[in-house]
């Protein structure tokens, strides 16, 4: 099977994906970062009455024009409105959020009023009719759609959902991602590795990225290069009704790379493998019944680059989320050499100049096993296949590793 270009591989992957239709109701405390499955309309009008925006006095504007002293006849506080009507020559002491009593049409700030000893108030302050009053329904009205289906819920949307009197919200079911690391050479973090072992690291980073993309993660741990062990992990993923199975390592066809073979024996339909990219060439994509399968390379950086390019968009489409916006343009700090037939993803760091221009500087070594370097990078320079040498000072596309920090 020939090497697929990255764009073609991603298009083929996403063409096979349908967004998850299942819905569930969740409480507001569990709704953060979930995706709304229906429009949300207000169950009440807010504010439900004309309310004071400030502490002061509720008055009739006509009395202010006359310049008369006003008798304070009562008080209106939040949760305890004044039950009567403000008549000519009267005022009501009022506090922020309290109902404006009937008859009043303006609120005077308390600092703009002189309180006299006989219980009356007087002012020379010039104001306008309706000043400092929040009219009924100013925020939203009963039945008004405020949050639309497909919105990713954040603190602002939860604020208004609660204000609209919704205790639960309809959301799409989260994609379930099962992750399994394969290889006799792997030991779990915290364990003492054998003389020929290394510590398994990729699955923890992949799980973190999957959760950020809105998925629930099932960690199936490390399995050795044994057909029966890999078969058992696949069966666990299917029993858990995983939407996506992620494997790391063993997806090639070497003597010890048996993951692809075991998956095929289990019924996997292989769509493609081997991508024209660096790092990450031995990516495997297939499906096992209704479970998507992504076989990521074993090298840590290769697996993370593939997860960013393929797993994240897959999970976005499954969960009704917009695709992450990671690609921006920067200017090369140094010359970049000509490229071969594989699209390169070069680890690099960004430098923002005082003018706001983004410079990008590549690291020297680009070995796909260098985890420390990957943790220090904040972007990947994208070098298309067969790209000619790019001089310093020229624009180039970069893939942000941490978009929110830019």
The per-residue pLDDT for 265 is 95
Structural domain count of the chain: 4
The per-residue pLDDT for 365 is 85
CA distances from 221 to 315, 372, 399 (A): 21, 23, 30
CA–CA separation, 93 vs 214, rounded Å? 50
| Whether residues 165 and 266 fall in one domain | no
| Whether residues 178 and 146 fall in one domain | no
Residue 49 burial (C-beta neighbours within 10 Å; 0-12, 13-18, 19+): middle
391 domain residue, yes or no = yes
In the numeric block, the tokens 């700090």 are attached to: 333
CA–CA separation, 74 vs 178, rounded Å? 65
Contact 392, 363 (CB under 8 A): no
According to DSSP, the β-strands at 56-59 and 106-109 are antiparallel
C-alpha closest to that of 374 among 324, 316, 299, 315:
299
CA–CA separation, 206 vs 286, rounded Å? 18
| Whether residues 164 and 214 fall in one domain | no
| Whether residues 180 and 293 fall in one domain | yes
The per-residue pLDDT for 63 is 92
Q: Is 66 helix (H, G, I), strand (E, B) or coil?
A: helix
CA dihedral 56, 62, 67, 73 (to 10 degrees): -50
| Whether residues 200 and 281 fall in one domain | yes
pLDDT at residue 255 above 70? no
1 domain residue, yes or no = no
| Whether residues 269 and 380 fall in one domain | no
* Domain-terminating residue out of 172, 187, 222: 172
273 domain residue, yes or no = yes
197 domain residue, yes or no = yes
Which pLDDT band holds residue 2 (cuts at 50, 70, 90)?
confident
* 360, β-bridge pairs: 332, 350
Each residue of 166-176: pLDDT tens digit? Answer: 999 999 999 99
The per-residue pLDDT for 65 is 80
CA–CA separation, 288 vs 383, rounded Å? 33
Name the least confident of 63-72, 190-199, 323-332, 388-397: 63-72
The pair of structure tokens assigned to 116 is 């006299």
218 domain residue, yes or no = yes
Using omega within 30 degrees of 0 as the cis cutoff, is the peptide bond preceding 279 cis? yes
Q: Is 10 helix (H, G, I), strand (E, B) or coil?
A: helix
Which pLDDT band holds residue 363 (cuts at 50, 70, 90)?
very high
Contact 40, 153 (CB under 8 A): no
343 domain residue, yes or no = yes
| Whether residues 167 and 189 fall in one domain | no
Contact 307, 36 (CB under 8 A): no
Q: Look up the CATH number of the domain holding residue 369.
A: 2.40.340.10
pLDDT at residue 20 above 60? yes
Which pLDDT band holds residue 222 (cuts at 50, 70, 90)?
very high
CA–CA separation, 208 vs 199, rounded Å? 17
Each residue of 132-189: pLDDT tens digit? Answer: 999 999 999 999 999 999 999 999 999 999 999 999 999 999 999 999 999 999 999 9
* Domain-terminating residue out of 85, 114, 134: 134
| Whether residues 205 and 273 fall in one domain | yes
Which pLDDT band holds residue 214 (cuts at 50, 70, 90)?
very high
pLDDT at residue 54 above 80? yes
CB atoms within 10 A of CB 267: 12
pLDDT over 70, % of the chain: 98
Name the least confident of 73-77, 127-131, 357-361, 401-405: 401-405
Q: Cα-flanking dihedrals φ and ψ of residue 24, to 5°?
A: -155, 160
| Whether residues 235 and 294 fall in one domain | yes
* Domain-terminating residue out of 123, 151, 172: 172
The per-residue pLDDT for 113 is 92
Q: Look up the CATH number of the domain holding residue 35.
A: 3.90.105.10
Mean pLDDT of the chain: 94
81 domain residue, yes or no = yes
Residue 210 burial (C-beta neighbours within 10 Å; 0-12, 13-18, 19+): buried
102 domain residue, yes or no = yes
The per-residue pLDDT for 252 is 61
CA dihedral 402, 403, 404, 406 (to 10 degrees): 100
Which pLDDT band holds residue 369 (cuts at 50, 70, 90)?
confident
pLDDT at residue 256 above 60? no
CB atoms within 10 A of CB 378: 18
| Whether residues 101 and 158 fall in one domain | no
CA–CA separation, 101 vs 117, rounded Å? 24
| Whether residues 167 and 177 fall in one domain | no
Which pLDDT band holds residue 351 (cuts at 50, 70, 90)?
very high
Each residue of 307-336: pLDDT tens digit? Answer: 999 999 999 999 999 988 999 999 999 999
| Whether residues 126 and 146 fall in one domain | no
Sequence-distant (6+) residues with CB within 8 A of 185 are 196, 197, 198
Determine the structural domain holding residue 257 and report its residue range.
Answer: 6-21+173-318
Q: Look up the CATH number of the domain holding residue 119.
A: 2.170.190.11
């Amino acid at each position: 099977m020939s090497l697929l270009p990255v764009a073609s591989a991603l298009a083929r992957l996403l063409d096979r994906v349908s967004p998850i239709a299942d819905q569930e109701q969740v409480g507001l405390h569990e709704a953060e970062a979930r995706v709304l499955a229906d429009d949300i309309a207000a169950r009440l009008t807010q504010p439900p009455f004309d309310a004071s925006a400030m502490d002061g006095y509720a008055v009739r504007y006509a009395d202010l024009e006359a310049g008369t002293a006003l008798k304070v006849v009562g008080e209106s506080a939040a949760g305890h409105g004044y039950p009567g009507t403000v008549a000519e020559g009267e005022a009501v002491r009022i506090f922020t959020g309290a109902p404006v009593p009937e008859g009043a049409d303006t609120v005077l700030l308390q600092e703009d009023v002189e309180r006299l000893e006989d219980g009356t108030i007087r002012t020379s302050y010039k104001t306008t009719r309706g000043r400092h009053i929040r009219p009924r329904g100013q925020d939203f009205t009963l039945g008004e759609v405020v949050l639309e289906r497909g919105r990713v819920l954040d603190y602002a949307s939860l604020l208004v959902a609660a204000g609209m009197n919704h205790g639960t919200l309809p959301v799409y079911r989260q994609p379930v991602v099962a992750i399994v690391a394969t290889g006799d050479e792997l030991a779990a973090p915290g364990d003492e590795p054998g003389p020929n072992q290394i510590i398994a690291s990729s699955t923890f980073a992949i799980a973190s990225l999957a959760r950020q993309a809105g998925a629930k993660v099932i960690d199936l741990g490390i399995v050795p290069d044994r057909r029966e062990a890999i078969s058992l992990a696949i069966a666990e993923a299917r029993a858990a009704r995983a939407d996506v199975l992620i494997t790391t390592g063993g997806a090639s066809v070497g003597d010890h790379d048996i993951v692809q073979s075991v998956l095929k024996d289990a019924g996997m339909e292989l769509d493609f493998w081997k991508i024209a990219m660096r790092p990450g060439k031995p990516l495997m994509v297939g499906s096992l019944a209704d479970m998507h399968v992504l076989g990521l390379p074993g090298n840590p950086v290769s697996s993370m680059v593939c997860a960013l390019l393929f797993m994240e968009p897959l999970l976005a489409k499954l969960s009704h989320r917009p695709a992450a916006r990671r690609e921006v343009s920067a200017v090369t700090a140094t010359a970049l050499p000509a490229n071969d037939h594989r699209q390169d993803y070069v680890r690099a760091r960004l430098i923002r100049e005082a003018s706001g221009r983004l410079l990008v500087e590549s690291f020297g070594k680009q070995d796909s096993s260098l985890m420390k370097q990957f943790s220090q990078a904040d972007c990947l320079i994208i070098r298309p296949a067969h790209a000619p040498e790019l001089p310093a000072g020229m624009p180039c596309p970069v893939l942000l590793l941490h978009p929110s920090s830019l």
